């Protein structure tokens, strides 16, 4: 059952669904700024009276409302309308890192190490901001994301990097409590202490980001195995292969960073995400390429997903047309947006061309 209006937002069309929420396209009329399109995250109709799910949803909403950082998908407001809980979020169009990884894999390509490091540095910036967050009284919230992985890192078509999905985040004052024996997060990206169900701190987020960066720069999965039990055993063991064993040109400086971020003993990891970001940015600077990274990101998305920029522009035009003339316009189709598990209408097409900014794997070696 699609709501027609939530707070100040007209609800236009469903974008995605899954888990405990549905994502809709929404629009608010702003007197002095025209109109604003947003992504409306709404608790599923069949769960809206389930106290446990409502508590989890409101916990997420309260966390998101306090986050304001250029590398975190923005939240405008949250509320309840006719017993329907909703969160109004920034509408971001682009691709997740998982989409990019899959597209590169299909074409037997890989991201440049300095580009992958730059993306990870922006995520580390976002994590540091979240880790240092306080409440209204200045008391630390001790926020931990707990689900840093390629599907929660978003690249916009404009070339920016956004971390999203704080639905599993742990913080002081959160009303919803984890159930004993339940592991939160995607299994191949968990830290060893998550698998061991030890008390967590921010260093688990560094480990998950390190796993993501290792995979981004090797085009191989680090801990994922054929089944969940084997995956959990691999995570618990925490054995991280040196990428240079398969990729002789792999930068030593980047491996040094990864080795520290992926230390099995968390006391040997970075103490803050700011330190991790600093080292990643220093590596990117050593390659002399930092200034080109946003443009390079946009160019790679255009190359890996041809035609999608125009699809996005048409989608937005149709959305606005529908809003102005609901009796005539056609509903816009879904497009990939942050906060929703949505695939583009245009799948990646492997071909013989090589997009600028991605590299072919070393000859004679498998990815």
Q: Which of 59, 125, 147, 279 is catalytic?
A: 147
Structure confidence at residue 102 (pLDDT): 96
298-315 tens-digit pLDDT? 999 999 999 999 988 888
The yes-or-no answer to whether 5-91+306-324 and 95-296 have a common fold is: no
Q: Average pLDDT in the 90-118 region? A: 94
Higher pLDDT, residue 47 or 38: 38
Structure confidence at residue 194 (pLDDT): 94
Structure confidence at residue 295 (pLDDT): 96
Predicted confidence (pLDDT) at residue 362 exceeds the cutoff of 50: no
250-284 tens-digit pLDDT? 999 999 999 999 999 999 999 999 999 999 999 99
pTM score, two decimals? Answer: 0.86
Query: Is there a contact between 349 and 31 (Cβ–Cβ < 8 Å)?
Result: no
Structure confidence at residue 358 (pLDDT): 66
Query: Is there a contact between 205 and 148 (Cβ–Cβ < 8 Å)?
Result: yes
Q: Which of 89-93, 159-163, 324-328, 350-354 has the lowest mean pLDDT?
A: 350-354
Non-local (6+) Cβ contacts of 223 within 8 A are 188, 189, 211, 231, 234, 235
Task: Give residue 47's Cα distance to chain centre.
Answer: 25
Q: Average pLDDT in the 135-158 region? A: 93
Nearest to residue 164, comparing CAs of 139, 189, 147?
147
Structure confidence at residue 271 (pLDDT): 97
341: number of Cβ within 10 Å: 16
Confidence of residue 93 (pLDDT cuts 50, 70, 90): confident
Query: Is there a contact between 283 and 114 (Cβ–Cβ < 8 Å)?
Result: yes
Structure confidence at residue 363 (pLDDT): 38
Q: Average pLDDT in the 338-358 region? A: 43
Domain ranges of the chain: 5-91+306-324, 95-296
Average pLDDT over the chain, rounded to whole? 85
112-125 tens-digit pLDDT? 999 999 999 999 99
Predicted confidence (pLDDT) at residue 340 exceeds the cutoff of 50: no
Q: Is 147 a catalytic residue?
A: yes
Predicted confidence (pLDDT) at residue 51 exceeds the cutoff of 90: no
Predicted confidence (pLDDT) at residue 351 exceeds the cutoff of 50: no
Confidence of residue 166 (pLDDT cuts 50, 70, 90): confident
Predicted confidence (pLDDT) at residue 134 exceeds the cutoff of 60: yes
Query: Is there a contact between 210 and 223 (Cβ–Cβ < 8 Å)?
Result: no
In the chain, at which residue ranges do the beta strands (DSSP E only) sit?
Answer: 5-6, 9-18, 21-30, 34-43, 75-81, 84-90, 94-96, 110-111, 153-156, 161-163, 358-359
Give the position of tokens 């299909």. 106
Q: How far apart are the first and last CA of the chain?
A: 45
Q: Which of 33-47, 167-181, 324-338 has the lowest mean pLDDT?
A: 324-338
What's the CATH number of domain 95-296, 3.40.220.10, 3.40.50.720, 1.10.510.10, 3.40.50.300? 1.10.510.10
At residue 85, φ and ψ (nearest 5 deg) are -85, 140
Predicted confidence (pLDDT) at residue 344 exceeds the cutoff of 80: no
212-222 tens-digit pLDDT? 999 999 999 99
CATH topology of domain 5-91+306-324: Phosphorylase Kinase; domain 1 (3.30.200)
């Amino acid at each position: 059952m699609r709501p027609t209006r939530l707070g100040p937002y007209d609800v236009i069309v469903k974008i995605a669904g899954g888990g405990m929420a549905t994502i809709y396209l929404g629009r608010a009329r702003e007197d002095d700024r025209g109109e604003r399109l947003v992504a409306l995250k709404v608790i599923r109709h069949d769960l809206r009276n389930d106290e446990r799910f409502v508590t989890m949803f409101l916990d997420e909403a309260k966390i998101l409302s306090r986050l304001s950082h250029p590398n975190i998908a923005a939240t405008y407001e949250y509320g309840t309308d006719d017993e329907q809980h909703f969160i109004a979020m920034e509408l971001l169009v682009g691709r997740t890192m998982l989409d990019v990884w899959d597209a590169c894999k299909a074409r037997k390509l890989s991201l440049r190490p300095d580009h992958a490091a730059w993306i990870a540095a922006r995520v580390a910036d976002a994590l540091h901001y979240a880790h240092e967050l306080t409440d209204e009284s200045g008391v630390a919230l001790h926020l931990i994301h707990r689900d840093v992985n390629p599907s929660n890192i978003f690249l916009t078509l404009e070339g920016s990097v956004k971390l999203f999905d704080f639905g599993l985040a742990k913080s002081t004052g959160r009303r919803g409590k984890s159930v004993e024996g339940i592991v939160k997060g995607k299994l191949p990206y968990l830290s060893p202490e998550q698998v061991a169900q030890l008390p967590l701190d921010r260093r688990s987020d560094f480990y998950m980001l390190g796993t993501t960066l290792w995979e981004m720069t090797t085009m191989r999965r680090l801990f994922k195995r054929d089944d969940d039990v084997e995956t959990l055993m691999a995570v618990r063991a925490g054995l991280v292969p040196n990428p240079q064993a398969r990729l002789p040109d792999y930068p030593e400086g980047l491996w040094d960073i990864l080795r520290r971020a992926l230390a099995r003993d968390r006391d040997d990891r970075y103490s803050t995400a700011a330190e991790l970001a600093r080292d990643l940015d220093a590596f990117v600077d050593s390659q002399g390429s930092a200034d080109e990274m946003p443009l390079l990101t946009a160019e790679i998305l255009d190359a890996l997903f041809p035609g999608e920029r125009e699809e996005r522009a048409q989608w937005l035009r149709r959305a606005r047309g529908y809003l102005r003339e609901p009796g005539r316009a056609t509903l816009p189709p879904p497009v990939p947006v942050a906060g929703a598990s949505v695939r583009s209408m245009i799948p990646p097409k492997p071909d013989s061309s090589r997009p600028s900014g991605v590299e072919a794997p070393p000859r004679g070696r498998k990815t």
